[in-house]
Amino acid sequence: MVVASLELEGRGVDDQISKSSSIPVIDLLSSSWKLGRREQLVSKEIVKASEKYGIFKVVNHGVGMDVVERMEEKGMEFFSLPENEKHKAGPPNPVGYGVRSIGFNGDMGDLEYLLLHTNPSSLAHKARTICKSNPNSFSYVVNEYVEEVRDLACQILDMLALGLGLENYQELSRLLRDSENDSLLRLNYYPTSYNARVRVGFGEHSDPQLLTVLRSNNVSGLQIVTDSFNGETWVSIPPDPTAFYIIIGDVLQAITNGRLKSVRHRVITNPQSSRLSMMYFGAPPLHAVIRPLPEMVSPECPRKYRAFTWGEFKKAMYSLRLGYNRLDLYRLDHNAQ
Ligand SMILES: C=C1C[C@]23C[C@@]1(O)CC[C@H]2[C@@]12CC[C@H](O)[C@@](C)(C(=O)O1)[C@H]2[C@@H]3C(=O)O
Ligand SMILES: O=C(O)CCC(=O)C(=O)O
Ligand SMILES: [Fe+2]
């Protein structure tokens, strides 16, 4: 495993000091999917990174840079439209175009965004309001991007299953391959911070789904929380437009009985440049039942979460603030705490 150094930021939002640290870099080229010895080792590294940090960077990921660039171009084309045109694709209920307001419960951030369902027919419908001049070309570019990042997400899930010693290595990825999967694509555009002041672009939260595949332009802003000797510390994740960051979500934490961590993260705005990020949130079908897998439960590690459907979790999530620790609602020892 290669270890990348995280850049040292001066003072973060609210004068919190963010420290330098390191997060793992996984090289997928060395693990062409064959279940050989080398692949088993990489799988173990992915598990370790997901347990310790809940985030890691993937290089040599196999997603075509031309596909990534086409998606970024379409995104920028959209955010460059006049305000009144963009608003025709809003409000986000929950998908669509949004400005500053995040979710339905009063959360605000310094950004504009476009949230899309990855289901091709839902996307084709929305594309008519997003790109009136050429909806087919917009849907084509999004579908092409989603297919490639979904394949990457599935490869990571297969390797996680292998590294965790699950009986069926496709146990996790089948949830994203299901035609009824509820995955989303989000494009976030953070303008340069006004008055050179660093502001919250997207507040602290964990991602609710199985995992997130994140790619951004070469502008910093993403930070994660790590536990340190004097409490919690914000650590900056350096941007790398040629790579993807994989972020573990709440559902994967529940399925693995708390072994993999859904990392809390946020975005701060950049005083010099605007940031464009693209996130694929890999989610199961609404009816999928989420519960700790039997392989993850033992007398030493008793079951931590009760069973719930993704639909049930999603309903709760939309009724809660961004920063709420929603998995707490499903903890079996919740009332005892
Ligand atoms: C405040 C909210 C926005 C959010 C739904 C929620 O009620 C709580 C979770 C938020 C989040 C965070 C990760 C993703 O960006 C997102 C699309 C998701 O699935 O959960 C957002 C939701 C959103 O913006 O609609
Ligand atoms: O924009 C980013 O870089 C991350 C945003 C994020 O965490 C989210 O949309 O859930
Ligand atoms: Fe997130």
pLDDT digits (tens, 9 = 90+) for 80-107: 999 999 999 999 999 999 999 999 999 9
Strands in the chain per DSSP E? 2-5, 18-19, 22-27, 55-59, 96-102, 107-117, 184-190, 200-205, 211-216, 222-228, 231-236, 244-248, 265-268, 275-282, 289-290, 308-309
Residue labelled with tokens 């964990």? 206
Over 60: is that where the pLDDT of 9 sits? no
Q: 214 is written with which tokens?
A: 């994140």
Q: Do 153 and 282 touch, CB atoms closer than 8 A? A: yes
For residue 42, the CA-to-ligand 1 centroid distance in Å is 31
Cis before 292? omega within 30? no
- Output the residue whose Cα is nearest ligand 1's atom 10: 322
> Tell me, what's the pLDDT at 21?
53
Tell me if 308 CB under 6 Å of ligand 2: no
Q: Mutate which of 100, 114, 202 to test ligand 2's pocket (most atoms within 8 Å of Cβ)? A: 202
Phi then psi for residue 52, to 5 deg, are -85, -45
Phi then psi for residue 180, to 5 deg, are -95, 15
Query: Considering the chain, what is the average pLDDT of its residues?
Result: 89
Tell me which of 199, 275, 291, 306 is the catalytic residue: 275
The mean pLDDT value for 285-295 works out to 97
Over 50: is that where the pLDDT of 20 sits? no
Q: 62 is written with which tokens?
A: 């196999």
Please report, rounded to a whole number, the percentage of residues in the chain having pLDDT higher than 90. 77
Q: 18 is written with which tokens?
A: 């963010």
Tell me if 313 CB under 6 Å of ligand 1: no
Q: Do 89 and 130 touch, CB atoms closer than 8 A? A: yes
CB contact burial 61-75 (16+ within 10 A = b; e otherwise):
bebeeebbebbbebb
- Output the residue whose Cα is nearest ligand 1's atom 3: 103
- Output the residue whose Cα is nearest ligand 1's atom 22: 103
Local confidence band at 231 (pLDDT 50, 70, 90 cut-offs): confident
Q: Do 98 and 113 touch, CB atoms closer than 8 A? A: yes
Cβ-count burial of 236 within 10 angstroms (0-12 exposed, 13-18 middle, 19+ buried)? buried
DSSP annotation of 233 reads E
- Output the residue whose Cα is nearest ligand 1's atom 14: 207
Tell me if 285 CB under 6 Å of ligand 1: no
Q: How far apart are CA 164 and CA 292, in angstroms?
A: 13
- Output the residue whose Cα is nearest ligand 2's atom 10: 207
Residues 6+ away with beta carbon under 8 Å from 321: 103, 105, 106, 107
Over 50: is that where the pLDDT of 210 sits? yes
> Tell me, what's the pLDDT at 178?
97
275 part of the active site: yes
For residue 103, the CA-to-ligand 1 centroid distance in Å is 6
Cβ-count burial of 282 within 10 angstroms (0-12 exposed, 13-18 middle, 19+ buried)? buried
For residue 115, the CA-to-ligand 3 centroid distance in Å is 13
- The number of beta carbons lying within 10 Å of the beta carbon of residue 145 is 24
Q: How far apart are CA 227 and CA 142, in angstroms?
A: 37
For residue 265, the CA-to-ligand 3 centroid distance in Å is 6
Tell me if 265 CB under 6 Å of ligand 1: no
> Tell me, what's the pLDDT at 35?
59
> Could you tell me whether strands 55-59 and 22-27 are parallel, antiparallel, or unpaired per DSSP bridges?
parallel
For residue 221, the CA-to-ligand 2 centroid distance in Å is 10
Over 60: is that where the pLDDT of 10 sits? no
DSSP annotation of 104 reads T
